[in-house]
């Protein structure tokens, strides 16, 4: 066990030795010269060692004290640095922000907009984590999660947006069928995205449900290329591989660029997204700024609906 050395007395001794003056040490420590002298005498009694030679109004370090004062100064500097680093750690926590989203939502919707947030909040260190399954999403530790299903996690759950589901394809593919919605739905190759096994299907319809809703009959509904990620399904549709049941949150940029076009009616049921955050966040102010920003991005997107 450490012997409990009187830290205040050590500080008074070190400051006096460094300045060569009790008065200057008192000024640095914001106490009276009498208090500094008292602390030095207390330390001498504790150590049973004389630290200063007192000559009238002048003081000088003893030989033993002079041999050790540099090490004491170094030790006090280390203590000061360690204590100040605790404050820095708190500041770092306040500046860090972790956001989790599915791989497709992160790459196709969040990432293209993050540059704006980083410009507005240059002091925030943003960590984006992606997931490909429901289990992975709910096990990740994040300040924010963007999910498209109801969850039983013990956290704050807020509606974020609702997206439309609408058939999209490349302009060239649509032109092959005369840009006729009935012809496209009845005869164009169908692109499928299967996420049910990962628990990420949400309220999205498959082609069977969509075509039944609008009374379109075709015998090869299950035929066509299949993907387990929305992003790769979108790439296939852009390349002309077929018509895709596009999620408006993810296809908005491709539609804006003209890579994809909407070719039929919107499915009548929208798909909801939720924003999850801790009940008691570590970085409340930083999180609120991110939340305000992301809600603003939702309101500016004409292809999704603010919740």
For 14-38, what is each residue's pLDDT tens digit? 888 888 888 888 888 888 989 988 9
The domain ranges of the chain are 7-86, 88-306
Higher pLDDT, 103 or 301: 103
Residue-level pLDDT at 110? 93
Quote the CA–CA distance of 176 and 191 in Å, as a whole number: 17
Both tokens of 11, joined, read 């500080």
CATH architecture of 7-86: Orthogonal Bundle (1.10)
Residue-level pLDDT at 94? 55
Q: pTM of the prediction?
A: 0.65
- Average pLDDT, stretch 179-199? 84
CATH number belonging to the domain at 88-306, selected among 3.40.190.290, 3.40.50.980, 3.20.20.20, 2.60.120.10:
3.40.190.290
88: pLDDT strictly greater than 60: no
Tell me the CA end-to-end span of the chain in Å, nearest whole number: 60
Please enumerate in sequence order all residues whose Cβ is within 8 A of that of 125, keeping only pairs 6 or more positions apart, or say none. Answer: 92, 95, 96, 97
Residue 2 confidence class, pLDDT cut points 50, 70, 90? low
Q: pLDDT digit string (tens) for 195-228?
A: 654 444 556 788 999 999 999 989 899 999 999 8
Residue-level pLDDT at 148? 87
**Cα separations in angstroms, 301 against 25, 246, 250, 298:** 63, 16, 11, 5
- In the chain, % of residues over pLDDT 90: 36
Higher pLDDT, 91 or 294: 294
């Amino acid at each position: 066990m450490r012997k409990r050395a009187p830290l205040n007395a050590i500080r008074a001794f070190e400051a006096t030795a460094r300045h060569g003056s009790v008065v200057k040490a008192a000024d640095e420590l914001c106490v009276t010269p009498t208090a500094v002298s008292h602390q030095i005498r207390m330390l001498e009694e504790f150590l049973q060692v004389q630290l200063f030679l007192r000559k009238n109004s002048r003081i000088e370090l003893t030989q033993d004290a002079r041999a050790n004062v540099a090490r004491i100064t170094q030790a006090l500097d280390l203590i000061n640095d360690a204590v100040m680093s605790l404050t820095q750690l708190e500041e770092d926590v306040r500046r860090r922000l972790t956001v989790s989203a599915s791989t497709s939502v992160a790459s196709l919707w969040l990432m293209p907009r993050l540059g704006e947030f980083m410009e507005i909040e240059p002091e925030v260190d943003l960590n984006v984590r992606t997931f490909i399954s429901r289990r992975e999403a709910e096990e990740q530790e994040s300040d924010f999660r963007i999910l498209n299903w109801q969850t039983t996690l013990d956290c704050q759950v807020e509606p974020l947006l609702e997206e439309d589901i609408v058939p999209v394809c490349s302009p060239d593919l649509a032109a092959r069928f005369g840009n006729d919605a009935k012809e496209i739905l009845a005869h164009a190759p169908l692109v499928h995205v299967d996420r049910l096994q990962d628990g990420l299907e949400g309220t999205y319809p498959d082609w069977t449900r969509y075509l039944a809703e609008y009374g379109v009959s075709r015998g090869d509904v299950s035929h066509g290329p299949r993907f387990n990620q929305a992003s790769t399904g979108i790439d296939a549709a852009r390349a002309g591989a077929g018509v895709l049941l596009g999620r408006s949150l993810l296809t908005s940029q491709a539609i804006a660029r003209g890579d994809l076009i909407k070719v039929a009616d919107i499915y009548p049921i929208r798909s909801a997204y939720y924003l999850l955050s801790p009940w008691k966040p570590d970085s409340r102010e930083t999180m609120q700024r991110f939340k305000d920003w992301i809600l603003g991005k939702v309101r500016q997107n004409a292809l999704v609906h603010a919740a």
